[in-house]
């Protein structure tokens, strides 16, 4: 689900002997993840806001242009270190000096260093209060390079010339060399320019795209005229105001999307010529390095056929379709084209066409040169190719689905090398030369660390280590292991946290935390195993905490994820019940006190488990739950369920309204009244059905809240949920 609230970072009994063959990798247990000799302090819900309990970070960390040197902010100083000389740290700019230059420009001073963006070896820019400032280290000069309207949104910066594109309401503007140009003057508020379409699906994270030379601006035009208004209400006025949103529900009228190209010199717009139905998607927008062409993936509304097309920028005409991808379930493009810097006639495309996300090398004529990576594992991040175009660097799950390691593959020979050698999760910042990497590392034994490594994986320097921010607190023992799904073949990863002061002779209540949907993986080899604050907080209160990544979750290949197609809730629930059977096999689990909690897709799973397995779960709490998928939006909903007209039986089986009469035990549902992801209608109609069925259900709303709760509201949420389980399960 494209927006989730993970509050952990948010059958019948089976005898122990029957689990011997089914529990795989118990030697894989990663206990000792947290210091078991901690002090006696316990969390309070409000500690969620205590920054001292977060792993320590290095602020504003970045490589400096093409140099093998990196910068970061420490104590209001911008520090530089050269990769080849870690014994020396140079202060290259202070906040005091920066503020002095701002004062000379008669600009507002800064309280802290802002986000800094290196343009090249000597220049960086930052944005403050709708102004773009350029600092040049060659002459130690600061200038105000550009300025845009303070009401501007959807801001895109051209990093060649520092031109700015932005939107005000539904129209698009640019500022070039200080001159504001209104690109569109659309009076119909249902037509949007320069905004992210398709509800942020398909990896789309911007509404406009500057060409490499900054001379052209591509942008989305989104026509929502036929999309129904959904009636949200702003209650924070004497008379509550209607605050409707456009919400295209599965099977209903959707957006019409086009891709335009604005030429500021000519003050002209051309639109790329996309054939096909109006309700298709335009994804993976990528500029050709020459700036003469633009590439776009055209995905049909059924989301099972993608065409990657090349267009002329000056006319919008189709040059050719480079390739097509089809799948009976769905095709989900998530990335743009990555062009090889040493040879811009070649690019890398990421695709799951062979069942796993891999890298494919193409030329700009559409010829596939080769598949670069192969195997039953996923590339999770494409980092860069070396400047010579000999090798490509990427993070992947090659050695374990719950880890991320750095790899290098030669483009000619396909020879692959693993670079990192420590079990855990590695996220990389690559220098432009790819000679060096900053490894942001986490594992069950290390909350967060920053290491400088070279291409061979040799650790050159430790920049920072924060082994355990919870060291002063009493934490339950955590383990990660695998069990088999009901097909007796598929591995399912599980995480279990024992209560603090665990006594194997006692019987404990269990809290199962579930998400279960695509684009999420709850269990990984990171600090706390991915459990985070709240689940450890609940373990301190005497619960066995259990989470299982069922089929349908991410980073395990297309078949593992897409098995839910047209039948959401079925395989996911079967896997979760396999986890319940495992829990029932444990001598220290009180099988009469099993609870379940989840949010968003996890809310759907929570209510499904409670209603479709009556008597198994004593207490459940579901936040922002999808109750009936016909009330969910087009882009996500139709990918996994098709339309209600195409798949009536699937929608009927997944609708939790049909199971309300099965409710036994205690169920708390929580919803934000202005949830624009899982609309309030879902849980309200479930309440109505419970009333009809004579079933009691507990309910709590967060007035004005959307799909997430933050800050003090999140602390309140933690207290609400934990209090409910303590009252009825503990």
pLDDT given for residue 276 in this prediction: 83
What would the pLDDT profile of 294-314 be if each residue is shown by its tens digit?
999 999 999 999 999 999 999
- pLDDT for the residue numbered 40: 86
**Cα radius of gyration (the chain):** 27
**What per-residue confidence (pLDDT) applies to 19?**
36
Residues 592, 547, single domain; the answer is yes
pLDDT in tens, 428-459: 999 999 999 999 999 999 999 999 999 999 99
Residue 8 located in a structural domain? no
Q: Please give the Cα distance from 178 to 146 (Å, whole number).
A: 5
Q: Which residues are catalytic?
A: 600, 675, 707
**pTM across the whole model:** 0.93
**Final residue of a structural domain among 468, 496, 519:** 468
Residues 460 and 537 in one domain: no
Q: Are residues 132 and 65 in the same domain?
A: yes
- Domain limit, last residue, from 439, 468, 497: 468
Q: What is the CATH number of the domain that holds 597?
A: 3.40.50.1820
How high does pLDDT run on average in the chain?
94
Q: Is the pLDDT of residue 699 over 80?
A: yes
Strands (E), 281-411: 281-287, 293-299, 305-312, 318-326, 338-339, 346-351, 358-363, 368-371, 379-385, 391-396, 405-410
* Domain identity same for 614 and 475: yes
Same domain, 457 and 474: no
Q: What is the rounded distance in angstroms from the CA atom of residue 444 to the CA atom of residue 692? A: 48
Going from the C-alpha of 696 to that of each of 209, 581, 660, 669, 693, the distances in angstroms are 52, 28, 10, 12, 9
Q: Residue 9 carries which DSSP code?
A: -
Nearest to 607 by CA among 575, 640, 639, 569: 569
In this structure, are 441 and 524 located in the same domain?
no
Residue 268: strand pairing partners: 263
The Cα 389–Cα 113 span in angstroms is 36
For residues 23 and 548, is the Cβ–Cβ distance under 8 A?
no
Domain CATH code at residue 220: 2.140.10.30
**How many domains is the chain partitioned into structurally?**
4
- Same-domain status, 572 and 685: yes
Please give the residue that has the higher pLDDT: either 11 or 290.
290
**Is residue 456 within 8 Å of 419, Cβ to Cβ?**
yes
Asked if the structure places residue 136 within a domain, the reply is yes
pLDDT band of residue 24 (cuts 50, 70, 90) is: very low
Q: What Cα–Cα distance (Å) separates residue 138 from each residue in 68, 124, 131, 135, 620?
A: 18, 11, 22, 9, 62
CA distance 170 to 580: 50
Q: Which residue has the higher pLDDT, 201 or 19?
A: 201
Residue 2 lies in a domain: no
Q: Is the pLDDT of residue 267 over 80?
A: yes
How far apart are alpha carbons 34 and 444 in whole angstroms?
Answer: 7
Tokens read off for 510: 């269990």
Q: Which of 457, 459, 458 is nearest to 449 (CA)?
A: 459
Higher pLDDT, 154 or 5: 154
pLDDT tens for 598-611 read 999 999 999 999 99
CATH, residue 121: 2.40.10
Whether pLDDT at 681 is above 50: yes
First to last CA, the chain: 31
Per the listing, tokens 């291409």 go with 455
Residue 16 confidence (pLDDT): 36
Domain assignment of residue 154, yes or no: no
Task: Assess whether 677 and 613 both reside in one domain.
Answer: yes
Q: Are residues 406 and 507 in the same domain?
A: no
- Are 191 and 211 in the same domain? yes
Q: Which of 462, 464, 460, 438 is nearest to 85 (CA)?
A: 460
Kindly tell me if the per-residue pLDDT of 360 is higher than 80. Answer: yes
Regarding whether 709 and 687 lie in a shared domain, the answer is yes
Question: Rounded to an integer, what distance in angstroms lies between the CA atom of residue 101 and that of residue 143?
Answer: 9
Task: Say if 703 falls within a structural domain.
Answer: yes
End position of a domain, from candidates 419, 440, 468: 468
pLDDT at 87: 86
Residue span of the structural domain in which 678 resides: 16-54+470-728
pLDDT in tens, 523-571: 999 999 999 999 999 999 999 999 999 999 999 999 999 999 999 999 9
Q: Name the least confident of 14-23, 400-409, 566-575.
A: 14-23
Confirm whether 3 is domain-assigned: no
Centre a 10 Å sphere on the Cβ of residue 498 and count the other Cβ atoms it contains. Answer: 20
On whether residue 1 sits in a domain, the answer given is: no
Say whether pLDDT at 707 is over 90: yes
d(CA 536, CA 36) in angstroms, rounded, equals: 13
Q: Rounded to whole angstroms, how far apart are CA atoms 729 and 589?
A: 13
Write the CA distances from 471 to 131, 424, 468, 676, integer angstroms: 43, 20, 5, 39
Q: How confident is the model at residue 321 (pLDDT cuts 50, 70, 90)?
A: very high
Q: Is 520 helix (H, G, I), strand (E, B) or coil?
A: coil
DSSP string, 155-169: EEE-TTT--EEEEET
Q: Does residue 429 share a domain with residue 545?
A: no
- Dist CA 326 CA 305 (whole Å): 5
| Residue range 206-244, pLDDT digits in tens | 999 999 999 999 999 999 999 999 999 999 999 999 999
247: in domain: yes
Q: Measured between alpha carbons, how far is 181 from 165 in angstroms, rounded to an integer?
A: 10
Q: With CA atoms as reference, report the closest residue to 563 among 576, 579, 551, 575.
A: 551
Is the pLDDT at 182 greater than 60? The verdict is yes
Q: Phi and psi of 102, rounded to 5°?
A: -65, -40
Using an 8 Å Cβ cutoff, are 705 and 672 in contact?
A: yes
Nearest to 371 by CA among 393, 398, 349: 349
pLDDT surpasses 80 at 11: no
How many other CB atoms are there within 10 angstroms of residue 143's CB atom? 13
Q: How confident is the model at residue 1 (pLDDT cuts 50, 70, 90)?
A: low
Judge whether residue 275 has pLDDT over 90: no
């Amino acid at each position: 689900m494209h927006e989730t609230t993970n509050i952990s970072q948010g059958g019948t009994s089976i005898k122990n002997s029957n689990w011997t063959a089914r529990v795989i990798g118990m030697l894989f247990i990663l206990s000792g993840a947290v210091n078991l000799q901690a002090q006696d302090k316990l969390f309070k819900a409000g500690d969620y806001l205590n920054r001292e309990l977060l792993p320590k970070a290095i602020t504003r960390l970045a490589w400096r242009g093409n140099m093998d040197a990196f910068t970061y902010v420490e104590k209001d100083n911008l520090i530089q270190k050269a990769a080849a000389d870690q014994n020396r740290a140079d202060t290259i700019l202070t906040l005091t000096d920066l503020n002095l230059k701002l004062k000379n420009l008669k600009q507002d001073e800064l309280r802290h260093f802002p986000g800094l963006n290196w343009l090249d070896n000597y220049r960086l820019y930052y944005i403050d209060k709708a102004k773009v400032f350029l600092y040049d280290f060659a002459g130690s000069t600061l200038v105000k390079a550009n300025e845009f309207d303070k009401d501007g949104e959807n801001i895109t910066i051209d990093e060649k010339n520092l031109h700015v594109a932005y939107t005000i309401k539904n129209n698009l503007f640019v500022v070039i060399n200080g001159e504001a140009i209104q690109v569109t003057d659309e009076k119909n508020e249902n037509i949007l320019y320069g905004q992210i379409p398709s509800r942020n699906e398909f990896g789309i994270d911007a509404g406009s795209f500057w060409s490499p030379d900054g001379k052209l601006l591509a942008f989305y035009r989104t026509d929502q005229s036929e999309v129904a208004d959904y009636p949200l209400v702003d209650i924070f006025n004497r008379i509550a105001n209607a605050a409707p949103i456009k919400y295209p529900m599965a099977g209903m009228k959707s957006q019409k999307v086009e891709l335009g190209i604005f030429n500021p010199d000519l003050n002209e717009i051309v639109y790329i010529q996309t054939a096909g139905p109006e309700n298709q998607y335009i994804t993976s927008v990528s500029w050709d390095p020459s700036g003469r062409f633009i590439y776009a993936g055209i995905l049909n509304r059924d989301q099972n056929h993608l065409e990657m097309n090349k267009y002329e920028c000056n006319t919008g005409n189709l040059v050719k379709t480079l390739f097509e991808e089809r799948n009976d379930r769905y095709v989900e493009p998530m990335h743009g084209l990555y062009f090889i810097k040493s040879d811009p006639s070649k690019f890398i495309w990421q695709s799951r066409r062979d069942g796993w996300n891999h890298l494919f090398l193409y030329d700009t004529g559409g010829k596939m040169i080769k598949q670069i990576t192969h195997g039953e594992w996923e590339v999770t991040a494409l980092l860069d190719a070396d400047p010579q175009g000999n090798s490509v660097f990427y993070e992947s799950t090659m050695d374990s689905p719950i880890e991320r390691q750095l790899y290098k593959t030669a483009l000619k020979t396909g020879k692959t090398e693993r670079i990192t050698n420590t079990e855990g999760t590695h996220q990389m910042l690559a220098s432009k030369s790819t000679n060096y990497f900053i490894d942001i590392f986490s594992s069950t034994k290390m909350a967060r660390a920053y290491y400088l490594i070279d291409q061979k994986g040799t650790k050159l320097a430790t920049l920072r280590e924060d082994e355990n921010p919870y060291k002063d607190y009493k934490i339950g023992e955590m383990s990660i292991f695998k069990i088999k799904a009901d097909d007796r073949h598929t591995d399912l990863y599980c995480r279990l946290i024992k209560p603090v002061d665990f006594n194997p002779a006692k019987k404990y209540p269990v809290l199962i935390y579930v998400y279960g949907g695509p684009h999420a993986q709850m269990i990984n080899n990171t600090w706390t195993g991915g459990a985070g604050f709240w689940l450890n907080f609940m373990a301190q209160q005497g619960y066995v905490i259990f989470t299982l990544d069922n089929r349908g979750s991410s980073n395990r290949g297309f078949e593992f994820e897409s098995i839910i197609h047209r039948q959401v809730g079925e395989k996911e629930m079967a896997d979760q019940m396999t986890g319940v059977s495992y829990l029932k096999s444990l001598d220290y689990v009180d099988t009469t006190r099993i609870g379940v909690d989840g949010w968003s897709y996890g809310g759907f799973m929570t209510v499904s488990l409670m209603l479709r397995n009556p008597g198994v779960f004593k207490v459940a709490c579901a936040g922002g739950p999808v109750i009936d998928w016909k009330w969910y939006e087009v882009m996500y909903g139709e990918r996994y369920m098709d339309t209600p007209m195409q798949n009536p039986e699937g929608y009927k089986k997944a609708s939790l309204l049909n199971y309300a009469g099965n409710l036994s035990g205690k169920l708390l549902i929580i919803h934000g009244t202005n949830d624009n992801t899982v609309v309030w209608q879902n849980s309200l109609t479930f309440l109505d059905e419970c009333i009809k069925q004579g079933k009691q259900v507990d309910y709590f709303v967060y007035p004005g809240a959307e799909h997430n709760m933050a800050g003090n509201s999140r602390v309140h949420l933690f207290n609400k949920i934990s209090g409910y389980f303590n009252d009825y399960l503990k």
